[in-house]
Structure 1
Amino acid sequence: MRLRAPVVLPCDPACSVLRDAVVDVSPAGRLGYVGPAADAPASEDPVRTLSGIVLPGLINTHAHSAMTVLRGMGGDLPLLRWLQEVVWPAEAKLTPADIEAGMLLGSVEMLRGGITTSVEQYFQTDHLVRALSTTGQRALLGPAIVDTPGHNWRAQLDEVSARIDVDGRFCGRDGRVELGYGPHSAYTLPPEALTLVGEAARAREALVLIHVAESAEEDAAQRAEYGSVPRMLHEVGLYGGRVLAAHSIHLSDADIAEFARAGVGVAHCPGSNAKLTSGIARVRDMRAAGVRVGLGTDGPASNDDLDLWEEMRLAALLARLSTMDSTALTASDVLLMATRGGAEAVGRTDIGALEEGRWADLVHVAVDDPAFAAGLDVPDEQLLANLVWAAGARLVQDVWVGGEQVVADREPTTVDRTKVQEAAGAVNRRLRG
């Protein structure tokens, strides 16, 4: 297949804008030539001409998307009260089928917004993988490891390791789901657990995804003993492999330097951070120190949507406001954070950009909208500004994952969206009743 569009954004480090360009997709779902149509090699593949902008699929670096069934519950509480009084009691009532219904709806919502890869941390791995395989979305899945009532962290850790050892890291539809480890946080696990998670993940080259310094109160005991959570994670041996730290709001200069030294990626979740009054992460300082930063939505019960376009805008707005610098994050900066930067943060080189050999995870953005009233024949900087600041998820028209079209004309191709919404809504009603 060859796609031809008036604008293609490969999301290379320079955030180039290609005019009248083509994107070739191999039968294996990988990218071939990406560049100007005038320079494209001869091809007998069918050509599909698109009217808008083609860019890589977005990467949501932190989510608990099955929580769509909890959306709207406890929405005016701060983080710790929200968890302790609303979320954890509600989660105790969820069945495996409930979690699959929630993940189905979350995946549909993300795909319709151009998110082709999501980093997920939740329970009931088999049901999450089945939901993701149904929709065709790509994911990095860290089954939750937590030491709270009703959960045995050692059994959870052993289950993940055994699953990877027997079946491999990649599973689900066409191997689109990569398994990793999801230790919740330093304040819900003993140091021994974090040590063993780090050892297990490094032995299997798997990703570790963990909440770090999300609120000022949560890690008080750990900070008192170790100085900071990033320092604690160093001392207990979690680093050394692929580590993704979600939120990472309350960091010192030394913490940021520790992340940079250890190669830790950060999932920046500005919407959730703001809604739960957790704080504003020091994104500009992290990026300046060489920390790889991607964007995440967090869960749909703490945000409450799964819209990475909104996170782009919020990331730039909050960075500018907190530093009083209008150049703190630009339109191209946040677009790259939502694509290439997300891939770098999770240690993947096969997604996040339109480059030969990467997976053909593609998004077609329509431009028949007031956001593009001036058309596409504008300076590159203005085009990127219109895309990031004025457009949004509503303009995502078509989506491909591995060359397979999973959204066509705004609707998923593999499931009935109405039925998916109804099933998740029924779970929410039962929980509230």
Structure 2
Amino acid sequence: MIRFTAPVILPCDAQCSVLRDGVVDVDDSGRIAWIGTRAAAPESDAPVHAVAGALLPGLVNTHAHTPMAVLRGKGGDLPLLRWLHEVMWPAEGQLDGTDVGIAMTSGCIDLLRTGCTTSVEMYFFADEVIDAVTAVGSRVVLTPGIIAGPGWERLGSWEHLRDEISERIDRVGLRSGPGERIELGYGPHSAYTLPPQALASVAEHARERGALLHTHVAEAADEDIAQRAEHGSVPVLLERYGVLGGRVLAAHAVQLSDADIALLASRGAAVAHCPGSNAKLAAGIARVSALRRAGVRVGLGTDGPASGDDLDLWAEARLAGLLARVTSGDAAALTASEMLLMATRDGAAAIGRDDIGVLQAGRWADMVHVDLSDAVFVDPADDAQLLSNLVWAGGSRLVRDVWVAGEQVLAAGEPTQVDRAVATADMRAVATRLRH
């Protein structure tokens, strides 16, 4: 057992409470045993780790392709389909498993340095992704990509990719690794890169195993014209082929009608909102306020660093708030508290996880220490102003330390398990090779 103390704790409960002079007890397994004020804390002779600022849960990135860190900056002025077909997919065709492991290692460090402890990843070369996450000490929900189309035959058929995931889950279980850092799911890329029968089959495999199905849905207006012409919309297509139901995470979900939103809500599907990537690729603005009003669980995602660039979920939260306000004309469309919860509690709920995203007894001790001495906090004694300053003015640059399952994986802004300089040099070597 270890006892953490902090002048401020933000548990990210439903009320977005602010605990003053708080305590978090973490047991030997890495789970939270108790949380509350020091005055109410049980007697304990456990060693004490005193944090000078605020403690909050690790952020949950609900949609990422983090190994694309090695492709950051390529095709940055192209719309989605040209960006994919002309730049990204040809470049990804040159990556092997070693490259992906190197890129994932560098990307995981980036995520930790922003306070993000969990990312939902859709990518290939699962062994190398898992090894990188394990080495850095972060947490992943890995939904290996399943795709069909010209150039992707090198990875095998969609049936082969599906079966690889199912075999892995059947062999090691949904969750594995120290502190259950690895969760497995399915990543059928999209309705426009897979035939409907593939989507239906993958969904069946996922439901049989209680696994997350993570897929791109209605990101840009010109990506799924044929599918919309035949079915009316992508959500309708997914419903007709039995994809909705179970744990379904729809990434982007920009091009949705009222009926589409109602359908997703009725089937319990969640949405990963990626405002930065959607804006950069001119894909549009997701209807976050309408989704939330309908009861759809909405988390935040950075998308891959080739389109989202900085892997900073705080920046995504701010942009989500700005866009929600300007599109609705409502200056309270997303409050600071709601934005913080979208990055933590709501993100965990969107992926069906009740063991992360909140500082609560029984959940994993995935925690972030942020500095409260920064001048952005004009009155840190005021709860509402503290939250506002943290989300709107502070963000990732205030992150100092990070723990995952009670283990410190970032100290004073540097990873504790791997050498950041080496990881960066390795990543740059891969990028240099791709350029020539």
Q: What is the TM-score normalised by the length of structure 1?
A: 0.98
Cα deviation, 1:49-107, whole Å, max 9, x if unaligned, reads 11111100000000000000101111111100000000000011011100000100110
Paired amino acid for 1:291: V
Paired amino acid for 1:281: A
The residue number in structure 1 matching 2:32 is 31
Question: Where does 1:37-116 land on structure 2 (aligned, <5 Å)?
Answer: 37-116=38-117
In 2, the alpha carbon distance for the partners of 1:76 and 1:224 equals 28
Question: Where does 1:158-177 land on structure 2 (aligned, <5 Å)?
Answer: 158-177=163-182
Are positions 1:377 and 2:378 aligned together? Answer: no
The residue number in structure 1 matching 2:314 is 309
Question: Where does 1:335-354 land on structure 2 (aligned, <5 Å)?
Answer: 335-354=340-359
In 2, the alpha carbon distance for the partners of 1:427 and 1:6 equals 44
The residue number in structure 2 matching 1:264 is 269
The residue number in structure 2 matching 1:432 is 435
In 2, the alpha carbon distance for the partners of 1:103 and 1:325 equals 39
Question: What is the CA distance between 1:375 and its match in structure 2?
Answer: 4.4
The residue number in structure 2 matching 1:408 is 411
Contact 1:139 1:178 in 2 (8 A): yes
Are positions 1:327 and 2:306 aligned together? Answer: no
Q: Give the counterpart of 1:273 among 270, 278, 295.
A: 278
In 1, the alpha carbon distance for the partners of 2:379 and 2:433 equals 48
Paired amino acid for 1:230: P
Are positions 1:194 and 2:195 aligned together? Answer: no
Paired amino acid for 1:214: E
The residue number in structure 2 matching 1:118 is 119
Question: What is the CA distance between 1:111 and its match in structure 2?
Answer: 0.6
Cα deviation, 1:99-149, whole Å, max 9, x if unaligned, reads 000100110000111000000000000000000000111110000000022
Q: Give the counterpart of 2:223 among 191, 194, 218.
A: 218
Query: Which stretch of structure 1 is more off in the superposition, 164-173 or 32-41?
Result: 164-173
Q: Give the counterpart of 2:422 among 404, 410, 419.
A: 419
Q: Give the counterpart of 2:291 among 280, 286, 294.
A: 286
Question: What is the CA distance between 1:31 and its match in structure 2?
Answer: 0.4
The residue number in structure 2 matching 1:21 is 22
Contact 1:211 1:245 in 2 (8 A): yes
Q: CA RMSD in A?
A: 0.8
Question: What is the CA distance between 1:356 and its match in structure 2?
Answer: 0.4
The residue number in structure 1 matching 2:246 is 241
In 2, the alpha carbon distance for the partners of 1:346 and 1:131 equals 22
Corresponding residue SS for 1:371: coil
Question: What is the CA distance between 1:248 and its match in structure 2?
Answer: 0.3
Question: What is the CA distance between 1:34 and its match in structure 2?
Answer: 0.8
In 2, the alpha carbon distance for the partners of 1:62 and 1:357 equals 25
In 2, the alpha carbon distance for the partners of 1:344 and 1:300 equals 24
Contact 2:29 2:179 in 1 (8 A): no
Are positions 1:185 and 2:186 aligned together? Answer: no
Cα deviation, 1:175-217, whole Å, max 9, x if unaligned, reads 3110000000000000000000110000000000000000001
Q: What is the TM-score normalised by the length of structure 2?
A: 0.98
In 2, the alpha carbon distance for the partners of 1:49 and 1:131 equals 30
In 2, the alpha carbon distance for the partners of 1:22 and 1:192 equals 51
Corresponding residue SS for 2:183: strand
User: Which ranges of 4 or more aligned residues in structure 1 deviate by more than 2 Å?
Assistant: 171-175
**How many residues end up aligned between the 2 structures?**
431
Corresponding residue SS for 1:284: helix
Paired amino acid for 1:424: M
Question: What is the CA distance between 1:173 and its match in structure 2?
Answer: 3.9
Cα deviation, 1:162-184, whole Å, max 9, x if unaligned, reads 11111211234443110000000
Corresponding residue SS for 2:103: helix
Query: Which stretch of structure 1 is more off in the superposition, 49-58 or 164-173?
Result: 164-173
Unmatched 5+ stretches in structure 1: none
The residue number in structure 1 matching 2:11 is 10
Question: Where does 1:125-140 land on structure 2 (aligned, <5 Å)?
Answer: 125-140=126-141
Contact 2:121 2:143 in 1 (8 A): yes
In 2, the alpha carbon distance for the partners of 1:386 and 1:287 equals 24
Alpha carbons of structure 1 residues 208 and 162: separation in structure 2 relative to 1, 3 Å? same
The residue number in structure 2 matching 1:386 is 389
Corresponding residue SS for 2:124: coil
Unmatched 5+ stretches in structure 2: none
Question: What is the CA distance between 1:48 and its match in structure 2?
Answer: 1.4
